[in-house]
Amino acid sequence: MSDTERNWHSHRDAKAARLANAASLLDGKFAKTKDAKAVLETLLSSGDKVVLEGDNQKQASFLSQTLASVDPAKIHDLHMIMSSVSRPEHLDIFEDGIASKLDFSFAGPQSTRISQMIADGTLKIGDIHTYLELYARLYIDLIPNVVLVAADKVDHEGNLYTGANTEETPVIVESAAFHDGIVIVQANEIVDKVPRVDIPGDWVDVVIPADEPYQLEPLFTRDPQNITELQILMGMMAIRGIYERHNVQSVNHGVGFNTAAIELLLPTYGDQLGLKGKIVPNWEVNPTPTLIPAIESGWIKSIHSFGGEVGMEQYIAARPDIFFVGPDGTMRSNRAFGQMAGQYALDMFVGSTLQIDQYGNSSTVTKGRLSGFGGAPNMGSNPTGRRHSTPAWQSLKPKDDPLGRGQKLVVQMVETFGSNKRPVFVDHLDAEEVQKEAKLANVPIMIYSEDTTHIVTEEGIAYLYKTDSMAERQAAIEAIAGVTPVGMRSTEKELADLRRRGIVALPEDLGVRRTDAKRSLLAAQNMEDLVTWSHGLYNPPAKFRSWS
Amino acid sequence: MEKLHFTFKATQPITHPVHIGVVASGDLEVIMRPTTGDSELDIVTGSDGFHDVWQHVLERFFDRYPIQAKFEINDFGATPGVVNLRLTQAMEALKDAQ
Amino acid sequence: MKQLWVFPGQGGQHGGMLAPVPAVLKEQVAALLDMSFPDTDAVYTDSVQLQVAIALLQVSETQELMAAGFTPELAAGHSLGVFAAAYSLGSLQLDDLFKIVHYRASLMQASYPSGYGMGVIVGLPRTSVAKLVAQVTTTDAPVYTSNQNAPDQVALSGELTAIDAVLQLAKANGAAKALRLRVPVPSHSPLMNGVAQKLTKAMAGVQLTPPQGIYLTNDGGRPTKDPEVIRRDLSDNLAHPVFFDDMLAVAADYYPQVVVSFQPGQPFRKVLANRFSDDVHQIGLASMSIDDATFLLNKWERGSQNE
């Protein structure tokens, strides 16, 4: 066949044919709620690549439930692309044969079941990606045939308003809309005029009003009540030994209590140290309520977010100088841009993990639980193509190499033993075993040793970037690993030597007094304090309300 | 519930008692009293089977701070990290008093 | 409100436990199996008396909760508890349940008259226990890793001297607890293959319908709605370890809002408390009457609708 005979718009023709088949179910772009199943059975085709929106916060729950109800005789062997496997029906579709292959990022809430299904061959894994990697592949080799997304409000033209939780809707829709994929949207509400156009209507093919609003989890809310004195001690060490020492200007915090403690120590301990106005004005982070005191006391100048947080809407609307807020008053959270900023533009990432091996590799994948990682591997890695002039990035530049580059600070904060009293420091990650069991191409490591620049434990800080060899790196890790089997290899003599050379610092080396690590040092000690700090603008979800 | 007893050789006497920590889940309280002989530790713990971990924590502690005292420890499921925090906090408290 | 119903096996029994069971049900089962229920501590040393009585208690509690309008979305039975679990999901019928439980108990009673049993090790991971077992087990005195009730709780099944040898090694290797269980049979190990084969034959003719919820298998801890998978689990669970820890872990992935623990006793109180978050309601029928339980379930049901 010569080039002139080739059909160069076969995708467009196929899309038109599918939509024509569905014509009887559609009034313009709009379908009825009760016809949702029939719409999917008509527009989907077996073997399609299908993106189902759902990250760790926002879920296209009406469409996922509808997808799980389609007839497997009609629709089967879909290749699902989902950044988060969070809901039972996300795996039911594999059990029923509706789908057979999965590319994903995070499966925390379904991690046991997904492990079993991989072991049993019920589902085939493409890859376990970082968020950004998965989004990127939608434009390269995982171009979708159909995408299923969620919107707050849709007008009669099909314009979408995604409100405070825009998250991954734009990056998903764009991959289909400009490559003749079909864009199907579940809508909380159909309105005459949307408050803000987040996705233009001509990118949208089908809108289905949902029977109930999409699922939204207050995933990043940490009650200050549960912050321990050990976490406060570690937070104090981190502020002195890392934030201050490296003059850190921009940061991403993970979602644990360790970083919540730091957020609540900035307005108190940070102030005592005279660091206000000198460190961390710029953040890429979800709008966690524990940031409120630092915002209110003038520590934080800007926050860009991956997603919203339930209860923070009013507060955010009233602080447009800080957050990225549309003219309508709700925050725009574009997850793909957030991940990009988190990977490329930050001085520092601070996170936590369940296991760290003797070399400094870390993972949250443990035996029988294939959780995946979401955004941590983006934030917690050093993009080697970047060249920043910020003092933090420059401070990690090797002194003796004229062409040397700086590095992003990647900090892991862990207690040496978990709350289950199992050692966090281990010789070998469970992830190595999981790779074999699940026959994965790569060991599911969350953050690699080579990217990890600092580890903070209750014992002290290991400045891994200062080590010259793997043996020295191991010794530094052992020195702060407490009485775990890894830590027991460290001797007093080695510790003294590492302290002398500045590779390890104990609290006393940093001028941190352990007896100062008191809960009273936190700017807010409970949820009610956070509400007070917010001038009543923060409205905690019911499960975080212990008062009335 | 398990009762543990340890003895360590020590050289630095303390002059007055110290009480640190709290009686709460995941935490412990440590009481140290002056003594003349070896350091004796009586530990009541809610978590069974951690004799060796206690041994390691205490060996490290006495390596660094060979203090001569009679210890009473009531443990309510504290992790080794918390145990070490409370012991070293007690040392800071002693130093402040002196 | 999504409910997980948990049915334990033997262990928590005591004389008088059948007192709340309605006379009509007791008589029905007595007639079916041609036996009586003295319900004393003394008769519970007899496997058949014990196992049928436990099934009777669990069936009775199930019927009462169902009469109050509740059904499980998920059911997890431990060992003997699998039969009531399958019954609660509408898969196994009442007469079949009692006949098979009676037969199973008789086979177990006859299988190992003496010298065999079970032990438990707390505080070591399964992989470490497996290494110790491999050092000890022989053809003449076999021992196997058995049930996994929690991440750090591994049972042993086998010949008693071999079990004791593994328990000794476990203590030397840092186990928090290592002790024999008062179970006279090496349950949930390949030593029960013979019993499992006979039960498989007996179960072949039993009618099982598709369950109304998810059944969690003892073998491998898998969720299923397939009656044939349930049949296999009811038939041969004695020959496989009960992966109760996996059963609960996977049940948690379905987000149950309420966990109901059936009698006898409440052996999994701690395990369940560790596995499920504080916002999951828990009910133990060993410490609460059915009336109180239904009152709470109704209250939570209303609460979840109001949210």
Cβ(A305)–Cβ(A331) below 8 Å: yes
Chain C residue with CA closest to A113: the answer is C250
Q: Give the minimum alpha-carbon distance from B37 to chain A in angstroms, rounded to a whole number.
A: 25
Question: In C, which residues are within 8 Å of A121 by CB distance?
Answer: none
The tokens for A467 are: 């080590």
Show the domains of chain B with their CATH numbers: 2-97 (3.30.230)
Fold of A224-528: Glutaconate Coenzyme A-transferase (3.40.1080)
Amino acid letter at B4? L
Domain of residue C261 covers 3-111+190-306
| End-to-end C-alpha distance for chain C, whole angstroms | 12
Q: How far is CA A212 from the centre of its chain?
A: 25
CB contact under 8 A, C177 and B50: no
CB contact under 8 A, B48 and C177: yes
Chain B residue set in contact with C, beta carbons under 8 Å = 47-50, 52
Q: Give the minimum alpha-carbon distance from C56 to chain B in angstroms, rounded to a whole number.
A: 36
Q: Would you list the domain boundaries of chain A?
A: 23-216, 224-528
Question: In B, which residues are within 8 Å of A518 by CB distance?
Answer: none
Question: In A, which residues are within 8 Å of C252 by CB distance?
Answer: 112
Instruction: Name the neighbours of B, counting chains with at least 3 Cβ pairs within 8 A.
Output: A, C
| Cα separation values, A457 from A55, A415, B17, Å | 30, 5, 29
Helix (H) or strand (E) holding C295: helix C290-306
CB contact under 8 A, B80 and A482: yes
DSSP secondary structure string for all residues of A240-301: IIIIITTT--EEEE-SSHHHHHHHHHIIIIIHHTT-TTTS--EEE----GGGHHHHHTT---
CB contact under 8 A, C253 and A88: yes
Chain A residue with CA closest to C307: the answer is A542
For the stretch B37-90, pLDDT in tens is: 899 999 999 888 788 899 999 999 999 899 999 999 999 989 999 999 999 999
Strands B39-45 and C3-7: unpaired
The tokens for C270 are: 């701690």
Q: In terms of Cα–Cα distance, which of A124, A127, A85, A137 is closest to A103?
A: A127
Chain A residue with CA closest to B57: the answer is A483
Q: Give the minimum alpha-carbon distance from B89 to chain A in angstroms, rounded to a whole number.
A: 5
pLDDT of residue B98: 67
The mean per-residue pLDDT over the stretch C174-198 comes to 93
CB contact under 8 A, A230 and B89: no
Cβ(C265)–Cβ(C286) below 8 Å: yes
| pLDDT mean values, one per 10 residues, chain A (548 residues) | 80 97 97 98 98 90 97 98 94 96 92 91 91 96 98 97 93 98 98 96 98 85 93 98 98 93 98 97 96 98 94 96 93 94 96 96 89 89 89 92 92 92 93 88 94 97 97 98 96 96 97 95 97 97 74
The CATH code of the domain that includes C168 is 3.30.70.250
Does any CB of chain B come closer than 8 Å to the CB of residue C174?
yes
Number of independent structural domains in chain C = 2
Instruction: State which of C127, C161, C181 marks the end of a domain.
Output: C181
CB contact under 8 A, B88 and A482: no
For the stretch C127-149, pLDDT in tens is: 999 999 999 999 999 999 999 99
> In sequence order, which ranges of C21-175 are alpha helices (DSSP H)?
23-33, 47-67, 81-88, 94-111, 126-136, 160-172
Query: What is the Cβ-side half-sphere exposure of residue A238, based on CA atoms within 13 angstroms?
Result: 36
CB contact under 8 A, B84 and A233: no
Instruction: State which of C181, C211, C233 marks the end of a domain.
Output: C181
Interface test with C, best of B48, B51, B56 (most C CBs within 10 A): B48
CB contact under 8 A, A112 and C253: yes
Cβ(A220)–Cβ(A288) below 8 Å: yes
Interface test with B, best of A225, A228, A230 (most B CBs within 10 A): A230
Instruction: Name the neighbours of A, counting chains with at least 3 Cβ pairs within 8 A.
Output: B, C
Considering the domain architecture, whether residues C158 and C197 belong to the same structural domain is answered as no
The CATH homologous superfamily for domain A23-216 is Glutaconate Coenzyme A-transferase (3.40.1080.10)
Strands C153-159 and C116-122: antiparallel
CB contact under 8 A, B50 and C122: no
Helix (H) or strand (E) holding C246: helix C244-252
Q: What is the mean pLDDT of chain C?
A: 94
Considering the domain architecture, whether residues C234 and C268 belong to the same structural domain is answered as yes
CB contact under 8 A, A483 and B88: no
Considering the domain architecture, whether residues C120 and C168 belong to the same structural domain is answered as yes
Q: Give the minimum alpha-carbon distance from B4 to chain C in angstroms, rounded to a whole number.
A: 13
pLDDT of residue A3: 60
Chain A residue set in contact with C, beta carbons under 8 Å = 88, 91, 109-113, 116, 120, 368-369, 420, 542-543
pTM for the full predicted model: 0.90
The CATH code of the domain that includes C261 is 3.40.366.10
Q: Which of A419, A458, A515 sits opposite B84 (nearest CB)?
A: A458
Does any CB of chain B come closer than 8 Å to the CB of residue C176?
yes
For the stretch B21-45, pLDDT in tens is: 988 888 999 999 999 889 999 999 9
A residues 430-489 closer than 8 Å to B (CB):
457-459, 482-483, 488
Considering the domain architecture, whether residues C106 and C159 belong to the same structural domain is answered as no
Please tell me if the domain spanning A23-216 has the same topology as the one spanning A224-528. yes
Interface test with C, best of A112, A212, A419 (most C CBs within 10 A): A112
Confidence class for position C11, pLDDT limits 50, 70, 90 = confident
The DSSP bridge partners found for residue A411 are A350, A454
CB contact under 8 A, C177 and B52: no
The tokens for A97 are: 């044969």
Considering the domain architecture, whether residues C102 and C123 belong to the same structural domain is answered as no
Chain B residue with CA closest to A420: the answer is B79
Q: Give the minimum alpha-carbon distance from C118 to chain B in angstroms, rounded to a whole number.
A: 21
Considering the domain architecture, whether residues C32 and C121 belong to the same structural domain is answered as no
Considering the domain architecture, whether residues C82 and C157 belong to the same structural domain is answered as no
Question: In C, which residues are within 8 Å of B52 by CB distance?
Answer: 174
3-state helix, strand, coil in chain C (%, to 5): 50, 15, 35
Measured distance CA(B70)–CA(B72) in Å, rounded: 7
Q: Give the minimum alpha-carbon distance from C180 to chain B in angstroms, rounded to a whole number.
A: 17
Considering the domain architecture, whether residues C212 and C295 belong to the same structural domain is answered as yes
pLDDT of residue A2: 58
- Higher-confidence residue of A543 and C250: namely C250
Chain A residue with CA closest to B58: the answer is A483
In the three-class reduction of DSSP (H, G, I as helix; E, B as strand; rest coil), residue C294 is classed as helix
Considering the domain architecture, whether residues C201 and C97 belong to the same structural domain is answered as yes
Q: Which of C250, C255, C279 sits opposite A116 (nearest CB)?
A: C250
Instruction: State which of C145, C161, C181 marks the end of a domain.
Output: C181
Interface test with A, best of B53, B55, B85, B92 (most A CBs within 10 A): B85
Measured distance CA(A525)–CA(A267) in Å, rounded: 13
CB contact under 8 A, A112 and C223: no
ipTM for the predicted complex: 0.92
The tokens for A294 are: 């630092």
Q: Give the minimum alpha-carbon distance from B52 to chain C in angstroms, rounded to a whole number.
A: 8
